[in-house]
Amino acid sequence: MALSTQPVEQRGPPGTVPDLLDLKLVFVTGKGGTGKTTVAAALAQLAALHGKRVLLCEGDGKGDVASLFETAPTDFDAREVAPGVFAMSMDTEASLREYLKLNLRIPVVGRIGPLAKAFDFVATAAPGVREILTVGKFCYEVRERHYDLVIVDAPATGHIIGQLAAPQVINDLVKVGLIRSQTHWMLDILSDPAITGLVAVTTPEEMPVLETLELAEKVVKETTVRLSAVVVNRVLPELFGRSEEEIFELLRQPELTETLSVRAGGDVEPLMEGARLAVTMRRTRAAHLERLRQGLGTSVPIFYLPYLFTRFHGLRTTRQVAASLGEELGF
């Protein structure tokens, strides 16, 4: 897909920074490996710290929400994994069972067997049927107000559009009846920028930035959901300014490097190369960030999270990212 050279134009008025935690339903997506699950967990942690009762939903079954809170694996039944944070994992069959029980008043005990097979057949033939059960579960929790905020660790950028567009697809296919009435209230929730938002997570690298810009265009053209924010993860710190770079270049002259090595009691050349590499990486990534800013325009807020130099991801990481996100959001 060729990207437009024009900034993305959003629906509705531009958002303000604190608006993200004022929403009722937030989908968090991003290219695989950008840290979308970590950001979703951190956002849930931050909201809970500000007094909100939060439901964190693992929407694609590929995330690792449990490890980020250092708890047992989650399932379809939500449970508290941290003060104020409840987590669950999406299960299409369990969602179908719940839908039949709540909307059709059909008592379903155990596995739904033949009905599930029939559903699989229909879902394969009709676009949006499987996705409607997933997004419908999230919208249902919002409608029933069981939680102050529902955060979805959603599928990656290549799959999120189909999920968000599912209610509209079904609404266009089915003109009357119960199914249409179900998708109607879902669309009301998804289409309201004061209730629902999409957060795209990226990193300051070429492919993640390009996918984010492509996603931004598709969200506007193919869904009724608003892109509320872009979170840039793993931003390297600016270690050296221009004047310091000039000093480093002078110090890299062989005679000065040799003198420094003697005084330091060891070879400083690797240190000098490391400093130069850090500057180069920072400058290259800054160019990708500039492309992201220009492509998104001024209607989509961009928040930046620092690179965490850690090998392990657990509750400590979740808290660190939540703290950084809180600073970006102005809390």
- Residue 118, pLDDT score: 45
Nearest to 95 by CA among 63, 54, 125, 140: 140
Average pLDDT rounded to a whole number, residues 242-248: 71
Average pLDDT rounded to a whole number, residues 34-57: 96
> pLDDT at residue 331 above 90?
no
> pLDDT at residue 104 above 80?
no
- Residue 158, pLDDT score: 83
Domain ranges in the chain? 17-237+299-329
CA pair distance 149, 90, nearest whole angstrom? 17
When pLDDT is cut at 50, 70 and 90, the band that residue 315 belongs to is very high
| β partners of residue 227 | 198
When pLDDT is cut at 50, 70 and 90, the band that residue 188 belongs to is very high
Contact 315, 308 (CB under 8 A): no
Q: Which residue has the higher pLDDT, 271 or 165?
A: 165
- Residue 14, pLDDT score: 45
When pLDDT is cut at 50, 70 and 90, the band that residue 7 belongs to is low
17-237+299-329 to CATH, choices 3.40.190.10, 1.10.1040.10, 3.10.105.10, 3.40.50.300: 3.40.50.300
> pLDDT at residue 8 above 70?
no
Q: Which residue has the higher pLDDT, 249 or 144?
A: 144
- Residue 180, pLDDT score: 62
Q: Does the global pTM surpass 0.75?
A: yes
- Residue 123, pLDDT score: 45
> pLDDT at residue 229 above 80?
yes
The dihedral formed by the CA atoms of 20, 90, 169 and 297, expressed in degrees to the nearest 10: 30
Q: What is the 3 state secondary structure string of the chain?
A: CCCCCCCCCCCCCCCCHHHHHHCCEEEEEECCCCCHHHHHHHHHHHHHHCCCCEEEEECCCCCCHHHHCCCCCCCCCCEEEECCEEEEECCHHHHHHHHHHHHCCCCCCCCCCHHHHHHHHHHHHCCCHHHHHHHHHHHHHHHHCCCCEEEEECCCHHHHHHHHHHHHHHHHHCCCCHHHHHHHHHHHHHHCCCCEEEEEEECCCHHHHHHHHHHHHHHHHHCCCCEEEEEEEEECCCCCCHHHHHHHHHHCCHHHHHHHHHHHCCCCHHHHHHHHHHHHHHHHHHHHHHHHHHHHCCCCCEEEEECCCCCCCCHHHHHHHHHHHHHHHCC
Question: Tens digit of pLDDT for each residue in 61-103?
Answer: 666 899 999 999 999 999 999 999 999 998 877 776 776 666 6
Q: How many residues does the chain have?
A: 331
CA pair distance 85, 64, nearest whole angstrom? 15
When pLDDT is cut at 50, 70 and 90, the band that residue 125 belongs to is very low
> pLDDT at residue 264 above 70?
yes
Contact 211, 295 (CB under 8 A): no
Mean pLDDT of the chain: 82
Q: Which residue has the higher pLDDT, 140 or 259?
A: 140
